[in-house]
Amino acid sequence: MATAVSRGGAKVTRKRSWRGATIVALLLSAGLLGLAVISQDDGKVRLERKAMPEEIQRCTADADCTLVDKIGCCDCQSGGARGAINTTQRDALRRFLKLSCRHRAVCVRIDTCQRDLVPACSAGRCVASVSDG
């Protein structure tokens, strides 16, 4: 409550009106909600597929290839996949994924690593294939 002194010296007590503050708070909340709901985008999900540079998987023999736990934006312990690359191209793969993914991928803590994969060179390209034994 607010207390005011009138001209005659008598104290007049009147209740504060919270109506104005409530209206302002509601308008601000509605504005923030509107910004959160309305997207500046046209509502379409845009996926850009980028091809891995050929030299990362290029090989001439099985010994040229190695397995990696992260062949995409997520590693295989986080829902991604294992893959085979040229043993000399680990840094090139890391740089490619850093530029391609840019921390936009949503990775979940699900271990999808296949333990039975072996690297092999097939048609001049490193591939991960299931081992026979």
Q: pLDDT confidence of 22, banded at 50, 70, 90? A: confident
Same domain, 33 and 58: no
Task: Give the pLDDT confidence score for residue 95 in this predicted structure.
Answer: 94
User: What pLDDT digit, counting tens, does each position of 97-123 carry?
Assistant: 998 888 777 889 999 889 999 999 999
Expressed as residue numbers, the domain containing 14 is 2-37
From 53, 72, 64, select the one nearest 113 (Cα to Cα).
72
Helix (H) or strand (E) holding 11: strand 11-14
Q: Are 120 and 62 in contact (CB under 8 A)?
A: yes
Strand, coil or helix: 9 = coil
Same domain, 67 and 118: yes
Same domain, 69 and 107: yes
Q: Are strands 125-130 and 11-14 parallel, antiparallel or unpaired?
A: unpaired
Task: Give the pLDDT confidence score for residue 43 in this predicted structure.
Answer: 57
Domain assignment present for 49: no
**Cα-atom radius of gyration of the chain, to the nearest Å?**
31
Report the distance separating Cα 3 and Cα 15, nearest Å: 9
Same domain, 96 and 125: yes
Task: Give the pLDDT confidence score for residue 62 in this predicted structure.
Answer: 95
Same domain, 27 and 73: no
Total structural domains within the chain: 2
Report the distance separating Cα 20 and Cα 17, nearest Å: 7
Domain assignment present for 20: yes
